[in-house]
Amino acid sequence: MRPPAKTAAAPMRATLVVVSLWLGATPATASSLVLLEAHEGQRPSQLEPVLQELRQHLRAHDVVTEPQELAELRNELLPLDGRWDPTLTLAELIAQLEAGVRSYLRGSFRAAEQQLEAALTVAYRNPALVVGDATSRQWMTQALASLALARARLGESEGAASAMAEQIRSYPEQPLTRAAFGRRGESLYSDTRRALEAGARGSLLIDVSDPNARIYINEYGRGRGGAFASDVFPGAYRVLVVVGTAARLYRVAVHGNEQTRLLIDWTVDAAFVSSRAWIGLRAPTGHARAGAPLYRLLAKRLAFHDAIFVAVRDTERGPALWGVVHEKATGRRLRSGAIPLASVTSISLRRFAAFLATADHGAELASPAEGAGLRGAPRLPRPILRAPAGGTPQHPAGGATQHTTPATAIPPSVSWVSWGLGGLGVAAIGAGITTAALGWNADCEQDAQDAGCGRDPAAMAWAVALITSGLVSSGIGALLHLDARRAAASLRSPARDGTAGALARGERRSNRPTRLRPRWPSARPSLWLSFSSSFSSSFSSSFPSSFSPTSFSSSFLPSSFAPTSFAPAGRGALATLGWHF
């Protein structure tokens, strides 16, 4: 139906209102944290009271927790669900829009503005419902034109131009004619279009990792095959990506003479859930740990807010409430913790919320008494670990029990052994080199025909033996030192081989500080056998052809030593050493 054109329109200045979104936008809220949930399969309904109380405590720290607030964060690129309200039907949406159009036709311009703004907001949050109707372009154009004309009648020239610019960006091939919308509608459309045409256009490029994706821009189909590229008018755009039955909504901003690229990893976004009840990630049933890499990828998209992910993980003592904080832009894990649901109290939730929001307890994890057997416990990065002096376990009254291990260096016992072997090896190598140097006959330069000219076989044998033993000793010392450093790193970070590592592996561990013990490298015996064989061959290749073990032993070894038993005895010793390693 055609809105009436009663009087000539006064000249209006067409002003384009550009909504700043993700690119180059400023935060819409003073908060620096957002709360996102993570669930395996369906969200447990019995968890709602606990999460609701946790949200209240997090809001005290200015954390954005409500799904409605998260959906309105226009400065962040969150992949919202294409059906924000799954109970809404297409008939109900069209009825809301038609009610606003009828109010405009009756001359109730203020009521029409309010009704159409509310109805269009619902349509923008449920674009998957709009694109499902082939005639949506007609009734969406009628609603936008009626809103623009209602604002014009109310004297809101900038608001009228903004609504008309939205119609032009959404349906550039759908002009407003005088026959359909009267002279006022045609004039407003022409003025706004000229203002848009006078400005520079921007480029919008969309690339979806799934080649089966269908792309809709402002509820109108624009591309298939997972890609779209075009020059468009500057302004705010809603991008809907549909793959199968899944649909995700993105908000982007295009600026003149600039290129806006939207790269979508569908593996991540398909797992993202947004509804009026909750917003977060959903991992397939039986794959609770599969969502962990997605936390980092999703947090890297956030430009202004760190992300708090909360989830329920099964433990040996029942389910536990687990939380992890990831840094914006980088996705780096900052801190994490867990408390058992069986003993959740208001005090423990308040302390847990304070820990997630401000880390006022330091970088600590749930103690084994409360989180033993926690599967999928996150690892805490060492750079942000801050252990209290002394490293004694802390048990806040009524709160999440925390356990911290001091960030000690390599234990003295391991340090002395590794450095001792290394020093002994270096000394042996030096002695071998010295022996080899002394074994050369200095008279060779004077009389090259001297029968004694050349190298002393016995001295060369000792030199090779010393150098080889020095290399072996230095290698063992280096292996012990490197292994001890890895163990010390695990001790510095409780989430590795410390408390959280035990929780992730389902082990029990006492609350006493962990004492590091030296660990031998877990090399296979065959490696050490081949190692000994290679050194045996180096022995033989280094000896002169005139050298015999019998003469060597008669000159330098006791008569009770049997040279023929040297090789098997040496290999047996190395084989035994290999089993210990």
Q: Is residue 212 part of a domain?
A: no
Report the distance separating Cα 202 and Cα 196, nearest Å: 11
Inter-residue contact 300 to 331 (CB < 8 Å): yes
Is 580 within a domain?
Answer: yes
pLDDT band at 403 (very low <50, low <70, confident <90, very high): very low
C-beta separation of 152 from 176 below 8 A: no
For 402-413, the DSSP string reads: EE------S-HH
Please choose, from the candidates 307, 308, 309, 310, the residue with its C-alpha nearest in 3D space to the C-alpha of residue 328: 307
104-118, 207-221, 310-324, 446-460: which has the minimum mean pLDDT? 446-460
Backbone angles phi, psi at 276, to 5 degrees: -70, -15
In a domain, 461, yes or no: yes
> Is residue 213 a contact partner of residue 243, using CB atoms and an 8 Å limit?
yes
Position 146 pLDDT exceeds 50: yes
Distance CA 133, CA 130 (A): 6
> What's the confidence (pLDDT) of residue 99?
97
Specify burial of residue 245 (Cβ count, 10 A radius: 0-12, 13-18, 19+). Answer: exposed
Among candidates 72, 119, 118, which has minimal Cα distance to 276? 72
Dist. CA 164–CA 151, nearest whole Å:
10
Does residue 482 sit in the same domain as residue 533? Answer: no
The yes-or-no verdict on residue 411 having pLDDT over 60 is no
- pLDDT grade for 29, boundaries at 50, 70 and 90: very low
Contact 282, 39 (CB under 8 A): yes
**Region 108-134 average pLDDT:** 96
Amino acid at 71: A
Q: Is the full-model pTM beyond 0.95?
A: no
Are 365 and 500 in contact, with CB atoms under 8 Å apart?
A: yes
Does residue 543 lie in a domain region?
A: yes
Residue 415 lies in a domain: yes
Q: How far apart are CA 153 and CA 182, in angstroms?
A: 14
In a domain, 344, yes or no: no
Work out the average pLDDT over 415-435.
Answer: 79
Q: What confidence tens digit (pLDDT) does each residue in 459-509 have?
A: 778 778 888 887 888 888 787 777 666 555 443 333 333 333 333 334 444
**C-beta of residue 211 within 8 angstroms of C-beta of residue 225:** yes
Which range, of 134-143, 335-344, 533-542, averages the lowest pLDDT?
A: 533-542
Residue indicated by tokens 């000792």: 462
Give the residue with greater pLDDT, 490 vs 188.
188
Please, which residues bridge with residue 247 across strands? Answer: 242
Res 456: pLDDT? 73
Torsion of CA 539, 540, 543, 548, to 10 degrees: 120
Look up residue 389 and give its two tokens: 């002096």
526, 483: one domain: no
The closest alpha carbon to 360, from 330, 335, 390, belongs to 335
Compute the half-sphere exposure of residue 338: CA atoms within 13 Å on the CB side of its CA.
34
Q: Is residue 498 part of a domain?
A: no
Q: Above 90 in pLDDT, residue 342?
A: no
DSSP string for 242-265: EETTEEEEEEEEE-TT-EEEEEE-
Residue type, 26: T
Torsion of CA 490, 491, 495, 496, to 10 degrees: 20
The whole-angstrom separation of Cα 80 and Cα 276 is 11
Average pLDDT on 173-201 reads 94
For the chain, how many structural domains are there in total? Answer: 2
Contact 103, 146 (CB under 8 A): no
What is the pLDDT of the chain when averaged over all its residues?
Answer: 73
For 268, other C-beta atoms within 10 Å of its C-beta total 20
For position 58, what pLDDT does the model report?
95
**Structure-block tokens of residue 459:** 């001295």
d(CA 510, CA 232): 63
CA distances to 209, 241, 272 from 245, rounded to whole Å, are 16, 11, 14
> What sign results for the dihedral spanned by CA atoms 381, 386, 390, 391?
negative
- Contact (Cβ atoms closer than 8 angstroms) between residue 480 and residue 414: yes
How many whole angstroms separate alpha carbon 529 and alpha carbon 551? Answer: 28
- The predicted model gives 2-29 an average pLDDT of 33
Q: Where are the alpha helices (DSSP H) in 199-318?
A: 266-269, 292-301
Asked whether the beta carbons of 40 and 283 are under 8 A apart, the reply is yes
The whole-number average pLDDT for the span 524-537 is 47
CB atoms within 10 A of CB 373: 20
The pLDDT value recorded for residue 389 is 35
End-to-end, the C-alpha distance of the chain in Å comes to 87
d(CA 144, CA 142): 6
Q: Is 277 a member of any domain? A: no
- Residue 360 is predicted with a pLDDT of 67
Instruction: Provide the domain limits for residue 557.
Output: 522-581
What's residue 459's pLDDT? 76
Residues 254-298 have pLDDT tens digits of 999 999 999 999 988 998 888 888 898 887 655 555 556 788 888
Query: Per the structure block, which two tokens stand in for 231?
Result: 């020059």
How does DSSP assign 31-99, residue by residue?
--EEEEEEEESSPPGGGHHHHHHHHHHHHTTT-B--HHHHHT-TTS---EES-S-TT--HHHHHHHHHH
Q: Which of 218, 170, 160 is nearest to 191 (CA)?
A: 160
Give the residue from 310, 328, 327 showing the smallest Cα distance to 319: 310
Sheet holding 306-315, edge to edge: 272-274, 279-283, 33-40, 306-315, 318-326, 333-340
Distance CA 299, CA 309 (A): 10
What is the pLDDT at residue 429? 86
